Structures are given as C-alpha cells and as structure tokens.
C-alpha cells in the first residue's frame, strides 16, 4: 500500500507561524505558563544552545517543565479544534481525499509536538502520524531534549518507519512539505510535492520539475499548480 506523507506547519496548515508557537501563545493566554516554565526554557538554552546552534530553539521544549502530560494533551485537543482547524489548507485536504480514493494511507510527519499531532491527525482522518516526543517522567514533562524530533535525517528515519507500518517503502511514497529543511525527505520519495515553499525549496522544485501547490502561476511548464500526484 502506498503512503502520502504530510508535513504540518506551512503545509497542512496555512501561514508561516508554527503550530507550536500558536500553542505557546494559547497557553500564555490561558495563564498556563508561569515563572517555572520560563526559567526552565532559559536554562535549556544556556545548557544546549552552543551544541545545537540554530536548532536549539526548535529543540527547546522546557517551557512545559513541571506540567502534566494528561493536562497538556487535553488542552491541545481544544487548541487543535479552536486554533488549527480554521487554518487547514482546504486544497491539500482535497488532495488527501484523492490519495485515499487511490488506496493510499495518509500519514502526518512533522516536528510538531505529538500531543498536537495526534488530535490533528484524528481531525483530518489520517491513518497515522509521527510528531516530536518530549521527555516525560511519571507523567510530567522534563526540561530535557526531545526523545524524538523528526527533523532532517531524523525525519527520513521516521518516514521510513511510517512506510514500513503501512507495508510500503519510502521510494513509493508521496511527500508534501514547504521547507528546504525537508529537502532530504523530498529527494527520497517517488513523488515530491512542495506547498508554498520557501525561496530555497522553490528554486530546487523548479530546477527538478517538482509540483508546486499554493503558488502563483508560473510560466515554467515544469511547475504544476495543484495537479494531482497519487502515492
């Protein structure tokens, strides 16, 4: 069975602000982040900033330190309905329906926290998902590096695992993504599709003749606007 791998931020969700940033704002607005969480996030950057460089902010999940996983999961369920459902990309949802009709399995693959990825996956009727998993002890978040963070080569490994779960392989998959960080994954699948790409990924897509969704019309005949590509 073939697989369609769907990125979340900037791809399934419109706009450039990350779902995690929106969730942090949601927590702040509801008074759920306090001095302990802010202090833990600052401590994390002091400890891990040099080692992880520009990716340190992406890996900094210490803002949840001391909060219960069960509480955050319940809040994320409401957040997904209230904040994310309105900004789902309707064209991509229709494309996902086309993949289903062709017998493909829909898998969300993202660096978005798994407690957001799970309710979002259920909302869009995905067959499976893989998001970032954070360090938890006795049901409480820790100020530590993520246990799993699908980014770069780690995202390829997660993609391979999702394909294996579906009885397929990465070479038979379709992948949808918006960022040049996802270029290794896009190069590894049979059907790469870019959605509102950043400048670097747009240039790569044009050079390779990949489909571009959600873009202004382009005179280059190799750039297709919303043409179905089944997994």
The per-residue pLDDT for range 171-226, each reduced to its tens digit, is 999 999 999 999 999 999 999 999 999 999 999 999 999 999 985 434 333 334 44
**Cβ–Cβ under 8 Å, residues 134 and 113:** yes
- pTM reported for the whole predicted model: 0.84
Of 32 and 87, the one with more pLDDT = 87
Please check the confidence at residue 39 and state whether its pLDDT lies above 70: no
Count of beta carbons in the 10 Å neighbourhood of residue 142 = 17
Q: What is the mean pLDDT of residues 19-48?
A: 76
| Residue pLDDT, tens place only, 132-177 | 998 899 999 887 777 888 887 889 999 999 999 999 999 999 999 9
Separation of alpha carbons 163 and 134, rounded Å: 23
Across the strands, what pairs with 174? 4, 191
pLDDT for position 217: 38
pLDDT for position 172: 94
pLDDT for position 127: 96
Please check the confidence at residue 44 and state whether its pLDDT lies above 80: no
pLDDT for position 66: 83
Q: Which CATH class is domain 3-213?
A: alpha beta
Please check the confidence at residue 49 and state whether its pLDDT lies above 80: no
47 burial (CB, 10 Å; 0-12 / 13-18 / 19+) is middle
**CA distances to 58, 149, 201 from 179, in Å:** 14, 16, 6
Mean per-residue pLDDT of the chain: 85
Domains of the chain, residue spans: 3-213
Q: What is the mean pLDDT of residues 39-59?
A: 57
Of 230 and 15, the one with more pLDDT = 15
Please check the confidence at residue 68 and state whether its pLDDT lies above 90: yes
Of 198 and 16, the one with more pLDDT = 198
């Amino acid at each position: 069975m073939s697989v369609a791998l769907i990125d979340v931020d900037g791809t399934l969700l419109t706009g450039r602000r990350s779902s995690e940033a929106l969730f942090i704002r949601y927590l702040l607005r509801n008074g759920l982040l306090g001095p302990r969480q802010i202090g833990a996030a600052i401590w994390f950057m002091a400890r891990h900033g040099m080692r992880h460089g520009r990716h340190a902010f992406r890996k900094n999940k210490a803002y949840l330190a001391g909060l219960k996983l069960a509480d955050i999961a319940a809040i994320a369920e409401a957040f997904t309905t209230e904040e994310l459902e309105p900004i789902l990309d309707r064209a991509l949802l229709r494309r996902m329906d086309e993949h289903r009709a062709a017998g493909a399995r829909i898998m969300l693959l993202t660096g978005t926290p798994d407690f957001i990825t799970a309710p979002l996956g259920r909302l869009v009727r995905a067959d499976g998902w893989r998001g970032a998993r954070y360090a938890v002890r006795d049901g409480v978040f820790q100020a530590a590096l993520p246990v799993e963070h699908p980014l770069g080569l780690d995202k390829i490994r997660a993609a391979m695992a999702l394909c294996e779960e579906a009885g397929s392989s990465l070479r038979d998959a379709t992948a949808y993504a918006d960022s040049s960080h996802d270029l290794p994954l896009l190069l590894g699948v049979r059907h790469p599709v870019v959605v509102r790409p950043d400048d670097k990924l747009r240039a790569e897509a044009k050079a390779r003749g990949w489909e571009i969704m959600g873009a202004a019309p382009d005179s280059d005949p190799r750039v297709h606007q919303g043409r179905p590509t089944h997994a």
